[in-house]
Each structure stands twice: as structure tokens, then as C-alpha cells.
Amino acid sequence: MIKKLFEKVLQNIAINKEEAIYLINSDSEELYYYANKIKNYFCDDKVDLCSIINAKSGNCTENCKYCAQSAKYKTNIKIFPMIKHEKILSEAKKIEKNNIKKFSIVISGKTPSNKDFKDILKIYTKLKKETNLELCGSLGLLTYEMALELKKIGISTLHNNLETSKDYFSKICTTHTYEDKINTIKNIQKANIKVCSGGIIGLGESITDRINLAFELKKLNIKSIPINILTPIKGTPLNNIKILSKKEILNTISTFRFINPKSNIRFAGGRQLLSDNGKKGLLSGANAILTGNYLTTTGSNITKDINMIKECELKI
């Protein structure tokens, strides 16, 4: 059955939700094998690397249950306003020296204040002049007008995760809606900027929720799909939630590849929960990784990730 679905995908015939649920519950090694073959067929043997900087941390008005940056919860994260341009430029240049081509500024909050947005435009302008990086951003909910301004100064990609399925979203956040996120994605696309959007698995959602998320991303024609594994953080409502097994994680990645065969499936936050740091994921359908530190958890060393990619006989 898995081989038949693999052949179907290679013929550019989309699998349906029933078939996707079969895949995500199927025998692991066969699923990984064919997901990897789909990746190689549509995306070659290169791994897309990106890195981020946490440019504004904490004091977020939203109540996302998984997030340490929410002002609703008592966590031990560092809280700071927009950091100095010099620090962002310095970090960006270090990233570029490590042969990472994509660099994203990430800020906390529902949407940028006027002051922060003006500051963001200035730093992107400097980055454009002083580096050759592909500039990205994770800036919260954006209007079409904001997206247009970012386009004018050279932004390549904007990130806005759907996080989970439409049905499950209200279980993890009530201060903004799924529609708010979809509207932001459409505003970004309308401004002719690429969109990076995926989700977090391990929030207590069902397998069907994961499948529905993958199909929603397909519907929105998302070409960069980060998959994060929840790292439970003390002080958040999901602190005591059970961490997903390696099989659940890899089966999800592989099934996302079957559903979105031509997209970059990006292994993002939570890789450190796996004993191999996500190496098996690169051989099971993933073809992109977020490297370096994350927002409120420690990420993966860039040199270590590059060596891991070479061990998989893949290219950067």
C-alpha cells in the first residue's frame, strides 16, 4: 500500500486524508524509505539551512499554552525589548560565515508596534546592505500594507505558523484565531513574499489534527513547512504533557512529505529531544533544518548540524 501511494505521488496525484492517516499509522521503516525517495525525486539531495535571532523576548499579550514568551505564564525566560542593531548585524555575519544562507529576525508579540516595525525596517535595510543573506522574519500578525513595506526593503520570506489544525487551535490559544493567521499568510502572499508556515506536534492534538494541518498547508501552497516538536516548558500549561516518541515524530515528518511532496519539510524546534539530533529525519522526508539556537530553548550547534548532513551524504 505504501509503495502504491509513493507511485501515486510521483505521478503528481495527491493522496487523500484517509490515505494519509493510513501512512502516519503504518510500519515505520517502509514509510521512511518511500518518504525519502519522494524527497529525493522532487527536492534533490540538498538540505536547506536557516538560522534565527530572538530580537525581542517575552511580555507577549497572547495566551498560547505552549509558549514561554506569554505574559500570562510565569516562566524563567529572559525578557527584553528590541535588541540593538549591532547585535543583530554581528549575529547575521557569523551565520553567513558558517555558510548559512537564510537569516530570520524573530520578535515576541501578537503584531509589531509602530515603533518596533520602524526599527525592524531599519535593521533589515542594514542587513541588506551589509550581507548577502536571504532575509526572513517571524513578526506576528501582519497587514497587507506591512507586508508590502517589508517587500520593498528586500524581505524574502515571512514566517507565521498555523501551529495545529483549525479544529484544535482554540484548545491552545484563544487570544487570536486561526483565521487571523490565515489572513496574515494571504497578506504575505499577496505582497509576493514567500511564506514559511508549519506547526508544533505534541500539543495534545490527535493524529487527525496533524493530518488536517498538513492538508491546510497544502491548500495554502506553503513551500517551507517547519515541524516543531513541543519542548514542555516549566510554567506553561503544557509543562507536564507527554513528549512524543521518535516513531510519532518521524511518522509525522514522512507523512507530511507524502502530502506536500515539493515543499521544504523543515525539522525545527525540538530536535534536541531525539538521541540522533534529527539525523533520521533527514532520511525520512525532511530536507531542511533550523540550526543554531531557538527562541527560549537551546538549539543545535551549526558545525554539528553540518557534519550530520555530511554523514547522511547530503549537500548544503
Rounded to an integer, the average pLDDT of 150-172 is: 98
H-type alpha helices, the chain: 2-10, 17-24, 28-43, 85-97, 114-130, 144-152, 166-172, 178-190, 207-219, 246-259, 302-311
Annotated binding site for [2Fe-2S] cluster: 104, 136, 196, 266
pLDDT of residue 292: 81
Q: Measured at the alpha carbon of residue 256, what is the angle toward residues 254 and 257, in degrees to the nearest 5?
A: 65
Q: What is the pLDDT of residue 132?
A: 98
Binding residues for [4Fe-4S] cluster: 60, 64, 67
pLDDT at 94 over 60: yes
Note the pLDDT tens digit of each residue in 288-310.
999 986 554 455 688 899 999 99
Distance CA 196, CA 72 (A): 27
Rounded Cα–Cα distance for residues 49 and 53 (Å): 14
Q: Report the pLDDT averaged over residues 186-191.
A: 99
CA dist 303 and 293 (Å) reads: 12
pLDDT over 50 at 129, yes or no: yes
Q: Name the amino acid, one letter, at 192.
A: N
Closest to 56 measured CA to CA, from 128, 112, 126: 112
The whole-number pLDDT of residue 301 equals 83
Name the 3-class secondary structure at 197. coil
Q: pLDDT: is 270 or 15 the higher one?
A: 15
Query: Residue 14 in contact with residue 263, Cβ under 8 Å?
Result: no
CATH topology of domain 2-311: TIM Barrel (3.20.20)
d(CA 269, CA 295) in angstroms, rounded, equals 9
Going from N- to C-terminal start, the domains of the chain cover 2-311
- How confident is the model over 212-240, as pLDDT tens digits? 999 999 999 999 999 999 999 999 999 99
Neighbours of 307 (CB within 10 A): 11
Residue 143 identity: T
Of the ranges 113-122, 246-255, 265-274, which one carries the lowest mean pLDDT score? 265-274
Annotated binding-site residue numbers: 60, 64, 67, 104, 136, 196, 266
CA dihedral 62→266→286→180, nearest 10 degrees, is 50
